[in-house]
């Protein structure tokens, strides 16, 4: 029986380990979680290291020992951040699975575009928590709760400035109706909203996801935006979606729209967003992401605007972890052993 060397380079729990090893007796799992922390601290921006590493994390073993672990690995289970030169140091590597959902996380390293099969946990993340965050952002501005901080700082209430909306009967556009987007649409519909959604590909005659009134491909986006009171960005960041929300699309949205982004900052043109805010076109903006978030703080022009809420990529956090990355990895590990296709394998040309 051939042994499959599996290397975990992100920390896993005892339960995770047991689940992986139960897939097949041929699996030999090496847990190197935390071993590469020192390398990550040295090669990634300080803000990324501060966010994702413990303050005293310096890694384990020598460079030679870490290289030896990578050199024997056929399968690697990783996360983010990760060693940027992973492919060049793992000559036997045939498959890498990253626990996060976003394929764009891997753009910086030498795995991107390589000959290694790379899969993600797309659709198995804490999608419900992210959907609740998006709805909370919509409600924050729809109900005018942003006024509370303004009035508090002013020391008195400006009653006439409060313009709460009834969201029942309003229209919401979900850009990217995948795992996160479907949950956003379902919750929005439960609150009485008419939900429109886009996907990269829409199969003819396919049933609509729960809560959606219409589903269209990329060509439907401009028309959907023109009808929408609320817009939620949930799509993958690819070459096609870079700057997707630009000057023209912001102008196509009705005045007073609320925009929420729980995907990647690069999907929204921040200069165009600032200009739309400057001319008073937007009621509010909720950003759980922004351009270059792992390297620097948000741009001041957005961060200091009271109509903009910016959070540090926490929309998926909650008191209940419903992330299914390990279960997906185990399903794929079984498929890998059986020579079957892998779920969520990145198409380098498509970008996810």
Q: What pLDDT does 102 receive?
A: 86
pLDDT above 80: residue 311 = yes
Residue 283 and residue 148 share a domain: yes
Which SS3 state, helix, strand or coil, does residue 66 take?
helix
Q: What pLDDT does 119 receive?
A: 97
User: How confident is residue 232, by pLDDT bands cut at 50, 70 and 90?
Assistant: very high
User: How confident is residue 3, by pLDDT bands cut at 50, 70 and 90?
Assistant: very high
Residue 197 and residue 95 share a domain: no
The predicted model gives 181-199 an average pLDDT of 98
Kindly report, residue by residue over 213-225, the tens digit of the pLDDT: 999 999 999 999 9
d(CA 168, CA 164): 12
Residue 53 and residue 96 share a domain: yes
CATH of the domain at 302: 3.40.50.720
Mean pLDDT of the chain: 95
275 assigned to some structural domain: yes
Provide the residue range defining the domain that includes 272.
127-310
164 assigned to some structural domain: yes
Residue 21 and residue 155 share a domain: no
Residue 169 and residue 187 share a domain: yes
User: Out of 4-13, 52-61, 263-272, which region has the weakest mean confidence (pLDDT)?
Assistant: 52-61
Q: What pLDDT does 184 receive?
A: 98
On whether the CB atoms of residues 290 and 273 are closer than 8 A, the answer is no
97 assigned to some structural domain: yes
CA distances from 192 to 122, 168, 195, 210, 227 (A): 28, 4, 9, 13, 16
Residue 138 and residue 98 share a domain: no
Kindly report, residue by residue over 68-94, the tens digit of the pLDDT: 999 999 999 999 999 999 999 999 999
Instruction: State pTM to two decimals.
Output: 0.92
The dihedral over CA atoms of 56, 61, 65, 69, expressed in degrees to the nearest 10, equals: -60
CB atoms under 10 Å from CB of 117, counted, come to 17
User: How confident is residue 179, by pLDDT bands cut at 50, 70 and 90?
Assistant: very high
Residue 295 and residue 217 share a domain: yes
Residue 157 and residue 15 share a domain: no
Which SS3 state, helix, strand or coil, does residue 173 take?
strand
Burial of 202 (0-12, 13-18, 19+ CB in 10 A): middle
317 assigned to some structural domain: no
Q: What pLDDT does 101 receive?
A: 87
pLDDT above 90: residue 236 = yes
pLDDT above 90: residue 320 = no
The residues assigned a catalytic role are: 264, 293, 313
Residue 136 and residue 74 share a domain: no
Kindly report, residue by residue over 114-162, the tens digit of the pLDDT: 999 999 999 888 999 999 999 999 999 999 999 999 999 999 999 999 9
Residue 137 and residue 114 share a domain: no
Residue 229 and residue 203 share a domain: yes
d(CA 245, CA 265): 10
User: How confident is residue 257, by pLDDT bands cut at 50, 70 and 90?
Assistant: very high
| Residue-wise burial string across 205-222, b where 16 or more C-beta atoms lie within 10 A, e elsewhere | eeeebebbebbbebebbe
Tokens of 254: 């009705």
Q: What pLDDT does 125 receive?
A: 82
The predicted model gives 186-192 an average pLDDT of 98
Residue 88 and residue 196 share a domain: no
Sign of CA dihedral 335, 340, 344, 349: positive
Tokens of 293: 């978030």
The predicted model gives 245-274 an average pLDDT of 98
Number of domains in the chain: 2
Give the start-end residues of each E strand in 194-277.
Answer: 194-198, 212-216, 230-233, 257-261
Which SS3 state, helix, strand or coil, does residue 1 take?
coil
Q: How far apart are the first and last CA of the chain?
A: 34
pLDDT above 80: residue 16 = yes
User: How confident is residue 322, by pLDDT bands cut at 50, 70 and 90?
Assistant: confident
């Amino acid at each position: 029986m051939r042994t499959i060397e599996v290397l975990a380079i992100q920390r896993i729990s005892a339960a995770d380990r047991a689940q992986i090893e139960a897939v097949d007796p041929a699996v030999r799992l090496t847990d190197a979680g935390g071993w590469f922390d020192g390398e990550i601290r040295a090669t990634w921006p300080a803000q990324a290291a501060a966010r994702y590493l413990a303050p005293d994390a310096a890694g384990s073993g020598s460079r030679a020992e870490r290289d030896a672990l990578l050199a024997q690995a056929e399968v690697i289970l990783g996360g983010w951040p990760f060693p940027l030169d992973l492919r060049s140091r793992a000559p036997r590597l045939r498959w890498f699975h990253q626990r996060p959902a976003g394929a764009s996380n891997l753009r910086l390293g030498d795995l991107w575009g390589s000959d290694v099969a790379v899969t993600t946990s797309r659709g198995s993340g804490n999608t419900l928590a992210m959907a609740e965050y998006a709805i909370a952002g919509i409600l924050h501005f729809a109900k005018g709760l942003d006024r509370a901080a303004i009035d508090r700082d002013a020391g008195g209430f400006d009653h006439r400035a409060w313009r709460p909306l009834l969201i029942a009967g309003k229209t919401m556009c979900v850009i990217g109706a995948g795992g996160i987007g479907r949950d956003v649409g379902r919750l929005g519909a439960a609150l009485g909203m008419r939900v429109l959604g886009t996907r990269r590909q829409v199969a003819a005659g396919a049933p609509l996801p729960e809560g959606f009134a219409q589903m269209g491909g990329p060509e439907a986006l401009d028309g959907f935006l023109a009808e929408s009171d609320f817009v939620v960005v949930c799509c993958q960041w690819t070459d096609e979606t870079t700057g997707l929300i630009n000057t023209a699309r912001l102008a196509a949205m009705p005045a007073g729209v609320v925009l929420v982004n729980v995907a990647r900052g690069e999907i929204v043109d921040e200069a165009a967003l600032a200009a739309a805010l400057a001319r008073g076109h937007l009621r509010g903006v909720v950003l759980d992401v922004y351009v270059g978030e792992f390297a620097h703080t948000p741009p001041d022009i957005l961060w200091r605007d009271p109509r903009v809420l910016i959070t540090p990529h926490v929309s998926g956090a909650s008191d209940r972890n419903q992330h299914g990355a390990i279960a997906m990895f185990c399903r794929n590990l079984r498929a890998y052993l059986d020579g079957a296709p892998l779920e969520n394998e990145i198409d380098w040309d498509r970008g996810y």
